[in-house]
Chain A
């Protein structure tokens, strides 16, 4: 087991990438704190983990709220005594819209949930992580590197995440905390579906074709791809890796 004895907190793990990662981490021996703004969804992930013989608790939190972020870290320590791995994975999608048509509230919300949350959660976790050293993994997006039309605010937030990853890596290296990000390509997760406007949802065959034509490897990402990347970054195999962005994008970033 690759994460035996580790405690991991994963935000947005009530579905999609986060859930797949929580389940994989638990299978590899980690105790998992499943955080989601949707309590029922977090509970379902915990049920899946427990059915597999793993250990986990669910915590409801809004990652844009500093008090919630403090509380989820406290819940992790209360339940499992420490925290080794913080996976800032929670995010929201931008429904494909030209930037000029986005209202200010939508811009603010996309920046808050996707970027400010990484600041707030890391700020809350660092005092605990530094006790024994640890790992921070952020979910960014290949959209931060290669822009598509209609995803401007989301892509800017994720570019912020990729760079915040580098900054935290440098700042936290002396504390033996490694910080890396993962940049997935499009995936049909709940978030992936959220970004599709109605006309694209109605014709999923055409939508898939359009995405696939831009991904050299010829398929979309699935949550297990991201979970496996997160596992590599979480385990001691990657103890010399910090400040990187690992694209899991089938070559889209080229």
Chain B
């Protein structure tokens, strides 16, 4: 098992990529703190993990609220006594909208969840990791932070910030043996898709821009996260790992 004796906290783990990662990490021996803004969804992920004999707790929390973030780190420590892997996966997407029609509240919300959420989680998790002698941080960014599509500019800008924050933190935390990397997925088959107004027709258009000819699946992102979380990547820090079927080329 590639994550034996590790404790992982995964935000946005009530569905999609976060849920797939929680299940895979648990299968590989990690104890998982499943965080989601939707407490029921988090509990469902925990149930799936427990059905397979894994160990997990569910925590309801909003990653853009400092109190919630402090609470989720504390709950993880109370449950498992340590924190080895922080996976900042929770994200706020947007229905494609021209920038001039974007409400200020939406802009703020996207930045709060996708960028400030990483800041807050690191702020509370890193002192624990330092004390433990090291750890791993993984952020879900997006290939749109490298190659944006029209109508996604706030989201793309927030993900570009997440990529750079990853690099800045990698350099800053390297002396504490904390590695920081991010994953850049392309459009992924998750429950979020229909909410974004994606239709079967628009899916075809998206797929036509992905060289490997398919959208990503949650498990593609989970496998990349597993590599970055495990000691196999002990020499990898500050990278943005594209899981994008070549979209970023």
Contact = CB atoms under 8 A, between A and B. Distances in A.
Interface residues of B, number: 34
B235 A249 contact: yes
A253 B235 CA distance: 12
Given A240-B217, A241-B224, A217 B235 contact: yes
Contact of A174 (B213, B214, B216): B213
Nearest to A232: B227
A169 interface: yes
For chain A, give the interface size range.
Answer: 20 to 34
Interface string B175-213: 100010000001000000000000000000000000111
A246 B249 CA distance: 14
B239 A253 contact: yes
Contact of B170 (A240, A244, A246, A254): A254
Contacts of B241: 241, 244, 246
A30 interface: no
A247 B179 CA distance: 13
A212 to B, nearest CB: 12
B174 A251 contact: yes
Interface in A197-233: 216-219, 221-222, 225, 228-229, 231-232
B95 interface: no
Nearest to A216: B174
A173 B213 contact: yes
A166 interface: yes
Given A229-B233, A251-B170, 12 more contacts: A170-B246, A216-B238, A217-B237, A221-B235, A237-B226, A240-B216, A241-B220, A241-B244, A246-B236, A246-B239, A248-B233, A250-B236
The 4 closest A-B pairs by CB, nearest first: A237-B223, A173-B211, A216-B174, A243-B249
Interface of A: 166, 169-170, 173-174, 178, 185, 216-219, 221-222, 225, 228-229, 231-232, 237-244, 246-251, 253-254
